[in-house]
Structure 1
Amino acid sequence: MGQDVRSPQGPRCIALVGPFQSGKTTLLEAILARTGAIKNAGSVDAGTSVGDASPEARHHKMGVGLSAATTTFMGDSYTFVDCPGSVEFTHDMRAALPAVDAAVVVCEADEKKLPQLQIILRELEDLGIPRFLFLNKIDRANKRIRETLATLQPASRVPLVLRQIPIWNGDLIEGFVDLALERAFVYREHKPSEVIALEGGDLDREKEARFSMLEKLADHDDALMEQLLEDIQPPRDAVFDDLARELREGLICPVLLGAASRENGVLRLMKALRHESPGVAETAKRLGVPSQKEALAYVFKTLHLQHGGKLSMVRLLAGHLDDGATLQSSSGEAGRVSGILAVNGGHDTKRAAADAGETIALGKLDAIKTGDTLSGGKTAPAALVQIAPTPPVLAMSLSAADRKDDVKLGQALLRLNEEDPSLTMIQNQRTHDIVLWGQGEMHLRVALERLRDRFGVNVKSQPPAIGYQETIRKSITQRGRHKKQSGGHGQFGDVVLEIKPMPRGSGFEFHEKVVGGAVPKNYIGAVEEGVVDGLAKGPLGFPVIDVDVTLIDGSYHSVDSSDLAFRTAARIGMSEALPQCQPVLLEPIHMVEIVCPTEATAKINAILSARRGQILGFDTREGWPGWDCVRATMPEAEIGDLIVELRSATAGAGGFTRQFDRMAEVTGRAADQIIAAHRVAA
C-alpha cells in the first residue's frame, strides 16, 4: 500500500499561498537554500529574494504578482509557485491553483488574519486541492499550540490535524516533536534540525498529541479506529499512508511548524511534500484531462518582458513537448512554440523539451492567453479550467500625459490586461478618457508603475467622472427660430416645441403633430437631431433625460430652409426652454452588497451611513460561518473609494459588488456643490 499511496513519480508543482505578509516569499527562499538551488537565502526587505523580483515588488516590499522557482529534493523536481497574499492581487493565485498538485498555506497565529486565511482555504477546498498548513514565525509564538489551532480551525471546513508539537524552553520554542515519526528535533538556525532524545514531559505530551492525531485519521479509517479502541499501536507506515490518502482526498489539512526566516521546519515540510502530496497524474485526473499521448498544458500566467517578448507560463499535464511544436488552444487559436524555458524566479534557462509534470515558460505564443488549455494534437482541446472574473472595486480615469502617446497607451493597456485580467478598461463616451478598473488602491498604483517603467507611457490619472444627469419638472411650449442672411442662400428654420417631463427611467421620446405642412416631412428628422443636441447638456451642465418633446408647429422658407437650419432652430428652442422647466439634478444610485466578517458588520453599517447609504438589511453569508452580507443602496459618488475604508475595517478581507439601480434627485446644498464643482472642472 505504501508505494501506491506515497512518493508519486515525476516533477511536482506546489503553490505557496497565505495571507498578506505571512512569509511565503521568505519560505520560498528557505526552501531554495535548504535544497541547494541557491547558496544563501535572500531577503524581501533587502530586495535580494528570488521571489518578488519585479521592480514593483522590490519597491513596495510585497508580492504584486506570482513568482515561480524550481529546485530538486532527494532526486525529485519541485516547482514552487509563490502567490501574492494581498487580496488585491489574488487573480494570479486563482489562475495558478488549478495546475498545482498541492498547496502550502503559510500563516501565523494572528486572529486578525483569520478572515483572509478563510478566503484562501475556501478557494483550495472548492478546487479540491490538497493542502498543508505551515504555521510560520513559530519562534515568535506566545500561545500554546492547542490554543492556536483552536483559533485557526474555524477558517477550515476540514479538521486541521497537528503533525508536530513544539518543544518549549521557558517562553521560547527550541524545537518540535514529529507525531508521525515519533522523534524530537532541536532547531539549528540556517542548518538542519538535530535529533534529540524524546523524554520526560515532552514524551507525555507527544503521546497525548499523537493519539489526538490518530483519532482524527481514524474518522476515515475503520481499521485504525479498531486498533485505537483495542489500544494497539498502528504501524508507522500505515499512519503515513493514512496521512497521505486523507490529505489527497481533502479529508484533513495537516499542520506543520516552522520559522522560514531561520530556515526552521523546512526539511520536514519538504519530506511531507515528497511522501504525501500527489503528482501530476492525480492532478490531471482532478482536472478531467482526457487520456492522450499528445502534450496537454494549462496556461496559468502571461508575461510581457521588456526585451524578451511574450511568455506563457504553463504546467505540462500530459505528454512530451518539443521546442518548435505547434499547439492548439481551447480558445480556437494556434501557435508555434519559440523557446521552452525552465522557470527559476526570472533567471530562466532554455530547454530543448519538457515532459509531463514540468512547469515551464513558452515563448512567442502571441494569440494564447491566461486560462487557455493547449494541446499538441490537431484539434482544439476543451478548456480544462474556467476562471471566473473578479468584480472590480476601484476605478481611475486615465489619459496619456502626451497626446501623441494615445495609441501607445492603448497598446500598453492591452498587454497589461493580458498579464492581469483582473484589470478592466472601459472607454468613457462622454469624457473620451479611459477608465481603468482594478481590485484596490495598490493594484491600480502598480498598474500605473508598470505602464511607466515597462511600457514607457506616462499617464495622467484622476477619479472617474460620476454619471450625473438632469431632468425637468415643468412642461413648456417654446418656439425656436434660426434666421441668417449672408449673401446668396440664407438659413431659415422655425419650430414650436412642446416639452414635458416623463416618469423616471423613461428616457427620451420625440413626436410630431404638425398639420398643414408647416414643417415639411423631410425636415422632421433634422428637428429631432436638434432636440437631441439640446438635451446633451442642460442648464445645470449635464445630459437631460426623461423628457418628451413634440413638434407641434413651425414655418419654412422654400429657398433658405435646410436640414442644418431646422436642426439649429430645434437646438435653440431646447436651450431656451430647459432653464424655464424647473431643471433638477439627478445622481446615479447603486445597489451594493458587502461581504465582511461578522465582527466588522457594525463598522460597515457606520461606514455606509456616513456615505449616504440606505441599509436595506443584512444576513449571514450563506456557507461562510462567521461572515455577514450587508445590502444597501448608495450614491455612485460615495462608492468611489469605499473599498479602501472597507478593507481597513475588515483587515483586508471585506469586499463588495455593485449594480446600477436608479437615478435619484439631488437638491439643496448638495446639488449646488456638485454643479459648482462641475463648472470649475469644465
Structure 2
Amino acid sequence: MADRRSAGSRSIAIVGPYLSGKTTLLESLLSVTGATTRKGSIKEHNTIGDASAEARDRQMTVEVNSATVEYEGLRWNFLDCPGSIELAQETYNALIGVDAVVVVCEPVVDRVLNLSPLFNFLDEWEIPHLIFLNKMDRADVDFMQVLHALAAVSSRPLIPHQYPIGHGHKLKGFIDLVTEDAFQYHSGACADPIPFPEELQVEEKSARQEMLETLADFDDKLLEELLEDIPPPQDEILQDLKMELGADLIVPVFFGVAEEDYGVRPLMEALLREAPDPSATAERRGLNDADNQPIAQVLKTYYTPQGGKLSLVRVWQGQIEDGMTLNDVRVGGMYRLMGQQHQSVLRAGAGELVALARMDQVKTGDVLTAHAPAPDLPVARMIPQVYAKAIEADNRKDEVKLTSVLGKLLEEDPGLRWEQQGDTHEIVLWGQGDIHLQVALSRLQRKYNLPMTTHQPKIPYRESIRRTTSVHGRYKHQTGGHGQFGDVFLDIQPRERGAGFQFTQKIVGGVVPKQYIPGVEAGVRDYLARGPMGFPVVDIAVTLTNGSYHSVDSSEQAFKQAARIAMQEGMPRCKPVLLEPILNIKIAVPNDFTSKILRLVSGRRGQILGYDAKAAWSGWDEVVAQLPQAEMHDLIVELRSLTLGVGSFEWTYDHLQEVPERFTTQVLQAAWNTK
C-alpha cells in the first residue's frame, strides 16, 4: 500500500468501438470503487459520461469525458473516449496523456477488425493497454475463437488473465489463470470463490501454459523454470505481467458483463497492480523530472455555458497550482471533473488530469510550463479530413459571428477544419464523416444559437480552350461631354495544362498608348473570372497585337471594356472545354478488401496507380490512385461500408483534367439549375 500511495495517481483511458459498452464500463468502475452510489444507465440518460445533449441524442460518446475517483490510496483519472472512427482524432489526442488504456470490445469475431486502427495507434505510441471483452453473456460466444481473432489484429501477444466458467447466457464465473482459483459472478457484488470445475481442467491448463510461455519470451528466468518443469511463483508471474504491460510488450485480456458488474472488480485490481505509474509514462515521453519544474499538456478543450473555456491537461511533472502563470497565461481556476460536475482544487501533482480555466491562448496539444522554453512533447498526428458540407447561417445576421464561433468549435474538436472557397464563396466544414459533421452542427445550434443550412459543396470546375483565334473588340460610348473609345485586336491561344494565364503585347508605332495597355490586361483578367461555360478560365495566352485610340475620348477604362468585348466574342470560337480537379488519394484497407476497393475506385472514374502492403500495418494494403474530386463526396461512406468501418484515405490536389463529354452536359445543367 505504501508504494501505491507514493505514486499518487493513475490515468486510464477507456476506448473501443461504438456500442462496445465503454460508458457502461465506466459507470461500473465508478460504482465498484465507491465513487457513485447509483449506477447510471444510457437508456435513462443519467450516466456520468455521455452527459452532453449531442451524446444523449445519439446514445454514443461524442467527446472525451473525464471522471476522477479515489480508490485504494490512489487517485484514478478515467477518460471515456469516443468509439466512432469518425471521432478518432478526439480519442487519439487524449490517449497520449494516459498511463494505460482499457480497450473494450464485444466478443464478436466479425467486429474484431474494428480494433485494428486503434491497436496500431497504441503500438505506435507504445501505450500500455488491456482488453476487456464485454457482453460475454451473449449466446454465441466462443472465448478462444474471439481470442484468436483479436490476436490476428494485434501486433503484441495477447495474455488472457482468466478462463470463463460457462458461456453465453450460462456464463457463471471465471478461473484466474495466475492463481488458478475459481469464482462465481454475482450481479452488483463481488464474485465468490467456488471449487475448481474439474471439467475445465484440460482447457484451463492449456490456457495457463500458453500464458506462461508467452511471458517467458520476455523473461529468461521464467523460461528456465518452464523448461525444468518448475511451477513459477505467483509473485513472479504478477511481476512479469506488470513489467511487460508497462513496456507495451503484451496485451492482458479480461472479460465480463459491465452492465452486471461481472469481471469489473478483477479488472480494477489488475489496473491497481499492473498499470504503470506516472513517472514511467513521463519517461516514455522523454521527460526527466530532475528539476521537478511543472510541465503539463492540453489533451482536450471544452467550452462550457457557465465556466467558459476549460483546458483538460495531463500534469507530466512537478505541481500545478491555481493562480500560477503557465505560458504567460494565469490559471483562472482548476478543477477535477466528474462528467459535467466540477470540483475546485488548489493544486495537482504529476500524473493527474485536471481542467484549467480561462487559458484562452492555449489550445489542444500545447505544452504548458512556468518557465520557458517548454519541452517539445509529441502530439497525435492530425487525421486528414475526408468529408465536407457547405454551411450557411439560417439567419444572415449571424454570418458576422460565424467565423469566431467556428474557431471555438475547432478548438473543441481539432478533427474539424473549415475553409472559405475563393471561387464558390462557400464556407465548407470538413470532418471524418456525416456523424462527425452532424455533431458539430448540433453544437453550433445548441451552444452558440447558430442553426445552419447545409448542402454538398460545389466542385471548383475550370474551363480552358482547345483552339486559337484572333478577335477585334471596340468600345465606343458617346455622352454629352467626353466620350469613351477603346479599340483592340487580340490573339487568344491555349496553353499547356497547368501553365496558367499569360498576357503579352506586340504593339508597334504606339497604336495603343502604353498607359492604356494595363487596362487591356485588366479587361482580359476580369473576363477570365467567368468564361463561356460559367467557370473561371485557366491555361490560356492572350496577346494584344493591334488597336487604335482617340486623343480625347480614350482612357484606360475604355480599353478595359474593349478587351472584355473582344474576349466575349472570341472565347466561344476557341472550342471551350470543361476541366475538373483530380486528386491523388491513398486508401488504407485490410488486404481482404483490396479487390473491392479497386472496383470502387474504377467505378468512380478513378485511375489505379498501384497498391502495396501498408508500412508497419500487418495485413493491410495501401492503394494509390487518382480520382476526380466530383467523385469524392461520399467516398468515405462507401469505403467504410465495404471494409467493416475501418478503411480510410488521404488526399491531395494534383491537377486539372478535361471532363468527359458525357458528363459535361450534366455539370452545366446542374450549374444552371443552381443559379
Q: Normalising to structure 1: TM-score of the pair?
A: 0.96
2:369 pairs with one of 371, 375, 380: 375
| 1:218-249 deviation per Cα after TM superposition (whole angstroms, max 9, x unaligned) | 11111111111222111111111111111111
> Which of these residues, 137, 141, 152, is aligned with residue 139 of structure 1?
137
Which residue of structure 2 lines up, in the alignment, with residue 151 of structure 1?
Answer: 149
CA contact (8 A) 1:227 1:234 kept: yes
Q: Which one is further off, 600-609 or 441-450?
A: 600-609
Question: Helix, strand or coil for the counterpart of 1:367?
Answer: coil
Give the residue type in structure 1 aligned to 2:146: T
The answer (yes or no) to whether the contact 2:128–2:248 under 8 Å persists in 1 is: yes
* Deviation readout 1:614-645 (Å, 9 max, x if unpaired): 22332222222222222222111111111111
When the two chains are superposed, the root-mean-square deviation of aligned CA atoms in Å is: 1.6
- Counterpart Cα distance in 1 of 2:142 and 2:467: 73
Look up the equivalent residue of 2:368 and give its one-letter code: L
Q: 1:141 offset after TM fit, Å?
A: 5.4
CA distance in 1, matches of 2:340, 2:639: 35
Are residue 622 (structure 1) and residue 615 (structure 2) matched? yes
C-alpha displacement of 1:667: 4.1
The 2-side partners of 1:356 and 1:236 are apart by: 31
Matched letter for residue 505 of structure 2:
E
Question: CA contact under 8 A between 2:423 and 2:460: conserved in structure 1?
Answer: no
Q: Which residue of 2 aligns with 1:331?
A: none
Structure 2's unaligned 5+ residue stretches are none
Q: 1:202 aligns with which of 196, 200, 203?
A: 200
Q: Is the 8 A contact 1:296 1:375 kept in 2?
A: yes
Deviation (angstroms), 1:204: 4.1
Q: Alpha-carbon deviation of 1:187?
A: 0.8
Deviation at 1:658, TM superposition (A): 1.4
Task: Give, in angstroms, the shift of residue 130 of structure 1.
Answer: 0.9
C-alpha distance in structure 1 between counterparts of 2:434 and 2:449, whole Å: 21
- Alignment CA distance shift 1:598-1:141 (3 Å): farther
CA contact (8 A) 1:7 1:275 kept: no
- Structure 1 distance, partners of 2:94, 2:660, is 50
Residue 651 of structure 1: CA displacement? Answer: 1.5
CA shift, 1:646, in A, is: 0.8
Query: 1:491 offset after TM fit, Å?
Result: 1.1
Cα deviations by residue, 1:501-538 (Å, 9 ceiling, x for unpaired): 11211111100001110110111111101001111111
Say which SS state the counterpart of residue 230 (structure 2) adopts. coil
**1:61-113 deviations in Å (ceiling 9; x for gaps):** 11111111111222221111111111110111111111101111111222332
Do 1:490 and 1:560's aligned partners in 2 also have CA atoms closer than 8 Å? yes
Residues of 1 paired with 2:437 and 2:6: CA distance?
A: 42
- The 1:111/1:209 distance shift into structure 2, 3 A limit, reads closer
2:317 paired residue number? 318
Q: Deviations over 1:467-488 (max 9, x none)?
A: 1111111111111111111111
Aligned residue identity for 1:299: V
Secondary structure of the corresponding residue to residue 590 of structure 1:
strand
Alignment partner for residue 554 of structure 1, among 542, 547, 551? 547
* Aligned mates of 1:43, 1:410 — CA distance in 2: 37
The reply to whether residue 403 of structure 1 matches residue 402 of structure 2 is no
Calculate the TM-score normalised by the size of structure 2.
0.97
**TM-superposed deviation, 1:153:** 0.3
1:59 corresponds in structure 2 to: 57
Matched, 1:651 2:644: yes
Superposition map of 1:79-158 within 5 A: 79-140=77-138, 142-158=140-156
The Cα offsets for residues 192-227 of structure 1, whole Å up to 9 and x where unpaired, read as: 111112142234433332222111111111111111
Letter in 1 for 2:333: G
CA distance in 1 between counterparts of 2:223 and 2:288 reads 37
Letter aligned with residue 414 of structure 1: G
* CA deviation after TM superposition for structure 1 residue 121, in Å: 1.1
Equivalence for 1:13: 11
In structure 2, the residue matched to 1:441 is 434
- 2:180 is aligned, of 179, 182, 187, to 182
CA contact under 8 A between 2:463 and 2:531: conserved in structure 1? Answer: yes
Cα distance, 1:154 vs structure 2? 1.2
Per the alignment, in what secondary structure is the counterpart of residue 187 of structure 1?
A: strand
> What amino acid is aligned across from residue 65 of structure 1 in structure 2?
E
CA displacement at 1:7 relative to structure 2: 8.2
Contact 1:7 1:276 in 2 (8 A): no
- Kindly provide the amino acid, as one letter, of the partner of residue 435 in structure 2: M
Contiguous gaps of at least 5 residues in structure 1? 329-333
Residues in 1 aligned to 2:5 and 2:611: alpha-carbon distance in whole angstroms? 48
Looking at structure 1, the residues matched to 632 and 542 of structure 2 have their Cα atoms a distance apart, in angstroms, of 34
Letter in 2 for 1:128: E
Residues of 2 paired with 1:322 and 1:623: CA distance? 42
Distance 1:241 1:402 in 2: 63
Relative to structure 2, which stretch is displaced further, 113-122 or 85-94?
113-122
Matching residue of 2:233:
235
Give the alignment of 1:475-624 within 5 angstroms: 475-624=468-617
Pairing 1:13-52 to 2, within 5 Å after superposition = 13-52=11-50
Q: Distance in 2 between matches of 1:54 and 1:246?
A: 37
The alpha carbon displacement at 1:316 in A equals 1.2
Which range moves more in the overlay, 169-178 or 23-32? 169-178
Amino-acid identity (%)? 46
Number of positions where the alignment pairs a residue of Structure 1 with one of Structure 2: 674
SS in 1 for 2:579: strand
The CA distance in 1 between the partners of 2:208 and 2:644, in whole Å, is 35
Contact 2:315 2:350 in 1 (8 A): yes
Is the counterpart of residue 362 in structure 1 residue 356 in structure 2? yes
**How far apart are the structure 2 equivalents of 1:199 and 1:668?**
74
Query: In 1, distance between residues paired with 2:378 and 2:607?
Result: 39
